[in-house]
Amino acid sequence: MNDAQFLAWLKSSAAYRVVLIEAAVQIGGVESVVYLATKPFTTGPGDAPANTTYPPIATVGRLFTERLLLDGEGGLSTGELEIENVGGARDAWAGPGHVWKNRADRAYIGDVRWPRAEYRQIFDGVAADLVPSGRQALSLKLRDKLQRLNTPISEVKLGGTTEQRDALLPVAMGQAFNVTPLLVNAAILKYQVHAGTIHSIIEVRDNGAPVAFTADLAAGTFQLHAAPAGVVTASVRGAAAGGYVDTAAQLVKRLVTGYGKIADRFTEDDLDRNSFAAFDAAHPQSMGLYSKERLNVLEACRMLLSSLGAQMVMSRLGKLRLVKVALPGIGAPVSIRPEHMVEGTLQPTARTDVVGAVKLGFAKCWTVQDAGTLANLPEVHKALFAEEWLSTTKTDQSTLATYRLNAEPVQVDTMLLTRADADAEAQRRLDLWKVPRTTYEFEGVPELLSLELGQAVTVYSPRFGMDAGVTGIVISLAPDWETGRVTVGFLV
């Protein structure tokens, strides 16, 4: 079945839609799968799974809402599935013998008359939990697959017998300035900046003054040639196993596939390769981060992507995509006309605050040092170690005057490394938000189920000044698989 046939089916009044749910669960210590559906459905002997009954005990409305957050921070999307529990028939499902948390949940849609292979996947995520919903129902709380990244980057500790035995081995990704290495062997003055191969050590310092050292790049360590007088720091180009990378897309890819709990790590198949490639090509800025503490993979990715106003989203097929809130959106705009909207459903939902100035922090100093400890350094150098962030501010005087705004905005910190990149990003944000933006929402026809977050759209309507069409970006999608309609949110 091709896309056109599937769309025709979605539009057809003769369709008997059914949503199949396959929820992984641990029952009595044994990993298993529970099959549910919104209408009775049983697979045939040639299907996979074969001869399996999906009891019609699930209620699915707007199973899941995909959403882009305008603050660029990103986050987890949530959904919910109601399971019939009349008379307590499935009370055990909510009991301690059933563990649903962090198990895979998948949903598919099709016609009750179709073979199982013809069904299309509409959700690929994990369960947050299954909880009772009153006396007659259970509620399966859903999260997108990003939940799997909600784990520490590394839990590997130094070990041994030293007092630092409980210290986490540091992780250095991309470029990091003035990090505090972990002293791994005081007897030989050996320090570690990354738990693995690194690209290079730019410089090692003792109280800010460069000192001689010998690097072991394969081990991510270095040894000082002489005992230090003060605080030992270093600037590094970090993780290089598989090749050194320092762009946001490459670092995120490296983080989600190579860090965190092994069982929860993404594979290449979990990534939307086209999205990553396009994002990487459009965003060559160098970045870096360093962690000696319990940094979360999700948070690390957010730090990198939010530096560019981008965020991670999961597609309905469970593919990780990188999307940026920007105008225009991704790709050629899709024309949406009144015939694509349910009459009277188009309405504004929010309006953004106008911004007249943007201040970004960049080139993070990972170890801030008191200027008083930096004797014999040129004065101009002391500030480089004493300030955590360099900053840049972009202002639009016309906007400030028009809206009577404050010219000194709150600084937003980024993982960008150079003033040129920070200037460009600040200007981009200023250009985007210096005019009031409005978000709208409408209920769309089945053709619009193919929209994706971040996609460019041109919307025509006799209302809201859209007669000649306005170009925007899709920021939310809430498909209703029972009706074939989708609630579309967009920003213009």
372 binds other proteins (CB under 8 A): no
**Comparison of 135 and 381: residue with beta carbon closer to other proteins:** 381
Per CB under 8 A, the segment of 25-33, 175-183, 215-223, 295-303 that binds other proteins is 175-183
Binding mask 221-240 for other proteins (x = CB under 8 A): --------------x-----
Torsion angle (degrees, nearest 10) of CA 360, 364, 367, 373: -70
Which of 87/462 has CB closer to other proteins? 462
- The whole-angstrom separation of Cα 245 and Cα 239 is 8
Q: Does residue number 24 form part of the binding site for other proteins (CB under 8 A)? A: no
Measured distance between the N- and C-terminal CA atoms of the chain, rounded to whole angstroms? 35
Alpha carbons 22 and 247: distance in angstroms, whole number: 37
Q: Token pair 């709380």 is at which residue?
A: 141
Q: Which residues pair with 479 in a beta bridge?
A: 486
Shortest Cβ 483–other proteins spacing (Å)? 9
Cβ nearer to other proteins, comparing 13 with 161: 13
Long-range Cβ contacts of 276-279 (<8 Å, 24+ apart): 276/249, 276/252, 276/322, 277/249, 278/330, 279/248, 279/249, 279/310, 279/322, 279/324
Q: Report d(CA 455, CA 328) in Å as an integer.
A: 9
CA distance 403 to 470: 24
Nearer to other proteins, 340 or 359 (CB): 340
Q: Does 12 bind other proteins (CB under 8 A)?
A: yes
- Measured in whole angstroms, the distance separating CA 334 from the mean position of its chain's CA atoms is 25
Residue 247 or 306: the one with the smaller Cβ distance to other proteins is 247
Question: Would you count residue 426 as binding other proteins (CB under 8 A)?
Answer: no
The candidate with the shortest Cα–Cα distance to 327, out of 309, 346, 303, is 309
Q: CA 30, CA 376: separation in Å to the nearest integer?
A: 65
User: What's the burial of 460, exposed, middle or buried (CB within 10 Å: 0-12/13-18/19+)?
Assistant: middle
Among residues 55, 230, 338, 469, the one that binds other proteins under rule CB under 8 A: 338
Size of the site for other proteins (CB under 8 A): 48
Least spacing, CB of residue 430 vs other proteins, in Å: 21
Query: Using CB under 8 A, which of the segments 90-98, 306-314, 325-333, 416-424 binds other proteins?
Result: 416-424
288 near other proteins (CB under 8 A): yes
Query: Among 136, 214, 274, 345, which residue sits at the site for other proteins (rule: CB under 8 A)?
Result: 345
Closest to other proteins by CB, 132 vs 338, is 338
Taking CB under 8 A as the criterion, which residues in 439-468 touch other proteins? 445, 462
390 binds other proteins (CB under 8 A): yes
Instruction: Report, in Å, the least distance between residue 445 CB and other proteins.
Output: 5
Question: Smaller CB distance to other proteins: residue 44 or 284?
Answer: 284
Structure tokens at 150: 């909600």
344 touches other proteins (CB under 8 A)? yes
For other proteins, which is the closer residue by CB, 303 or 330? Answer: 303
What distance in Å separates the CA atoms of residue 218 and residue 113, rounded to the nearest whole number? Answer: 59
**Closest-CA residue to 312 (of 70, 72, 476, 74):** 74
Q: Is 380 in the site for other proteins (CB under 8 A)?
A: yes
The answer to whether residue 136 forms part of the interface with other proteins (CB under 8 A) is no
Region near other proteins per CB under 8 A, out of 36-44, 137-145, 326-334, 359-367: 359-367
Identify which range of 106-114, 152-160, 300-308, 357-365 contacts other proteins by CB under 8 A. Answer: 357-365
Distance CA(221)–CA(89), nearest Å, equals 59
Nearest residue (CB) to other proteins, 11 versus 165 = 11
Q: Does 180 bind other proteins (CB under 8 A)?
A: no
For other proteins, the closer of residues 178 and 275 by Cβ is 178
- In whole angstroms, give the CA distance from residue 77 to residue 225: 51
**Burial class for 178, CB neighbours closer than 10 Å (0-12, 13-18, 19+):** buried
Q: Minimum Å distance from CB 362 to other proteins?
A: 8
Cβ of 318: how many Cβ atoms within 10 Å? 19
Q: Which residues bind other proteins (CB under 8 A)?
A: 11-14, 175, 177-178, 199, 202-203, 209-210, 235, 243-247, 284-286, 288, 337-345, 362-363, 365, 375-381, 384, 390, 417-419, 445, 462
